[in-house]
Structure 1
C-alpha cells in the first residue's frame, strides 16, 4: 500500500465515522472508494478501534504495575471505557455490526487481549477459552455502571468470580 492509499483510506474512515456520528444507519449505505466492500471497511474500523484500545490498555497496565494496590481488572475496564468514550462513533459503528461474520475473528482477538490483559486468562490457555473469558468480561464491563462520585471502584471485580 502506498502512502497515497494509506491517506485515502484514513480519509474514508474519517468520513464514515463523521457520518456515523450524525446518522449511524446512513454511514454504511455506500462503501467509500478505497474499500472493496463493507467487510473490508469493518475490518479497517476494528483495526482502528484496536489501536485506540490497546494503547490505552498498555498505559493503564503500566500505571497499575507502579501503583501500590493496582488492579488489572479495573485498569482494563477503565481503559476500555475511556476508549469507547473517546471514540463514540467508532464504537457505535462496530456495535451495530457486531453480528457481521467479517468481524468474528477480530472480535475474538479483542476478547483474548482483554482477558489476558485483565489477568483473567493466561497466554498458555487455549485461544477459545481466552476469547470466552474476554467476551464474558466485556459483557460484565458493559453491564456494570460506570463509577461516579457516589460509587467505589472495584464493583466489577466482585462479579469476576462468576466467570
Structure 2
C-alpha cells in the first residue's frame, strides 16, 4: 500500500464516521468514497476495527507500563480505564462497531475475539499459554464487566494511604 492509498483509505474511514455521527441509529454508511476503497461493508468494518485496535492497543500498552512501574496500580483496573478512555475519545467509532458486530456475515467476530484475548492477557486475567478459546471467554467476560461498571478514578495519595485503602477494601 502506498502513502496515497493509505491517505485515501483514511479519508474514506473519516467520511464514514462523519456520516455515522449524523445518523447514530442508521445503517453503516457506505459512501462512494468508501466504495472506491473497500470491496464491501465487511471489509470496511474490518478497517474500522483495525483503527479501533490501534488506538486501544496503544492505551493498553501505556496502562501496562504504568502498572509495571507502580505496584499500587491494579492492572485489571488500568486496562479497564484504558478501554473506557479509548471508547470515550472515539464514541462514534465504538458505536459503529457495536452496532455492526453481528452483521455482514459476522466478519468482525475473529477481530473481536482477538481484542478480548488481548484484554484478558494485558490485564493479567489470563496467560498466553492457555487455550485461545478460554482466553477469549475470559476476555469477553472482562469486557462485559468493563462496559457495565462505572469508571473509578485512580486515587493517588501517599503510599501509606493507598496501602490502608487496600486493606480496608479487602476486609
For normalisation by structure 2, the TM-score amounts to 0.83
- The SS at the match of 2:85 is helix
Structure 1 residues 119-134: aligned runs within 5 Å: 119-134=124-139
- In structure 1, stretches of 5+ residues that fail to align are 150-157, 159-163
Are 1:37 and 2:40 counterparts? yes
Are the aligned partners of 1:61 and 1:76 in contact in 2 as well (CA < 8 Å)? yes
**How much is the aligned-residue C-alpha RMSD, in angstroms?**
1.9
Q: What do the CA deviations read for 1:96-131 (whole angstroms, capped 9, x no partner)?
A: 011131001000000000000010000100110000
Q: What do the CA deviations read for 1:59-108 (whole angstroms, capped 9, x no partner)?
A: 01111111131211000000000000000110000000111310010000
* Structure number, greater radius of gyration: 2
Give the superposition deviation at 1:147.
2.7
For normalisation by structure 1, the TM-score amounts to 0.87
Are the aligned partners of 1:56 and 1:80 in contact in 2 as well (CA < 8 Å)? yes
CA distance in structure 2 between the partners assigned to 1:70 and 1:8 by the alignment: 41
Residue from 73, 76, 79 that aligns with 1:73? 76
CA distance in structure 2 between the partners assigned to 1:16 and 1:90 by the alignment: 9
Are the aligned partners of 1:21 and 1:88 in contact in 2 as well (CA < 8 Å)? no
- The SS at the match of 1:28 is coil
Number of equivalent positions: 151
CA distance in structure 1 between the partners assigned to 2:2 and 2:30 by the alignment: 27
Q: Which residue of 2 aligns with 1:28?
A: 29
CA distance in structure 2 between the partners assigned to 1:20 and 1:119 by the alignment: 35
